[in-house]
Structure 1
Amino acid sequence: MPKINVYLPDELADAVKDAGVPVSAICQRALEQAVRRVTAIRETTLGDVEEDDPTERLTHFTDRARTAVRLGVRRARAAEAPGVATEHLLGGMLDEGENLSLLVLRALEVEPERVLGELERVTTRGVGGTASRFTADAANALELAVTEATSLGHGYVGCEHLLLGLVAEPDGTAGRVLRSLGVEPRLARRAVSAALAGYVHLRAQQAPAAPNAAALLGAAVRAEVRPLVERLDRLEQHVGLVAP
Structure 2
Amino acid sequence: MPKINVYLPDELADAVRATGLSVSPICQRALEHAVRQANAIQAAVTQDLDGGEPALARFTDRARSAVRLAIEQAREAGEPNVSTARLLAGLLAEGGNLALQVLGALEIAPEQLTAALAGAPSAEPEQGPDSALRFSGPAARALELTVAEVGMLGHNYVGCEHLLLGLVAEPGGAGGEVLRAAGAEPKLTRRAVAAALVGYNYLRASQGTTPPSAGQLTSLLQQQLQQQLQPLVARIESLEARLGD
Same fold per TM (> 0.5)?
Answer: yes
The 8 Å contact of residues 83 and 122 in structure 2, kept in 1 or not, is answered as no
Distance 1:3 1:71, change over 3 A: same
Partners of 1:33 and 1:107 in 2: CA distance? 33
Distance 1:124 1:90, change over 3 A: closer
After superposition, residues 136-155 of structure 1 pair within 5 angstroms as: 136-155=137-156
Distance 1:60 1:50, change over 3 A: farther
Query: 2:225 is matched with which residue?
Result: 225
Q: After superposition, give the CA deviation of every residue in 1:26-78 in whole Å (9 maximum; x if it has no partner).
A: 222221221122111111112211443x23x2121111111111111111112
Query: 1:43 is matched with which residue?
Result: 43
Task: Using structure 1 for the length normalisation, give the TM-score.
Answer: 0.88
Task: Using structure 2 for the length normalisation, give the TM-score.
Answer: 0.87
Distance 1:113 1:2, change over 3 A: same
Q: Percent of counterpart pairs with the same letter?
A: 51
Query: 2:128 is matched with which residue?
Result: none
After superposition, residues 64-213 of structure 1 pair within 5 angstroms as: 64-124=62-122, 132-206=133-207, 209=210, 213=213
Query: 2:60 is matched with which residue?
Result: 62
Runs of 4+ in 1 over 3 A off after TM superposition: 123-126, 227-240
Distance 1:199 1:143, change over 3 A: same
**RMSD value, Cα:** 2.5
Query: How many residue pairs were aligned?
Result: 236
Partners of 2:223 and 2:29 in 1: CA distance? 35
Q: Does the residue aligned with 2:56 lie in a helix, a strand or coil?
A: coil
Query: 2:127 is matched with which residue?
Result: none
Q: After superposition, give the CA deviation of every residue in 1:100-157 in whole Å (9 maximum; x if it has no partner).
A: 100000010111121112112224589xxx7611111001100111111100000111
Can you give the 5+ residue segments of structure 2 that lack an aligned partner in the other structure?
125-130
Letter in 2 for 1:88: R
Can you give the 5+ residue segments of structure 1 that lack an aligned partner in the other structure?
none
Distance 1:235 1:180, change over 3 A: farther
Distance 1:25 1:139, change over 3 A: same
Q: Does the residue aligned with 1:77 lie in a helix, a strand or coil?
A: helix
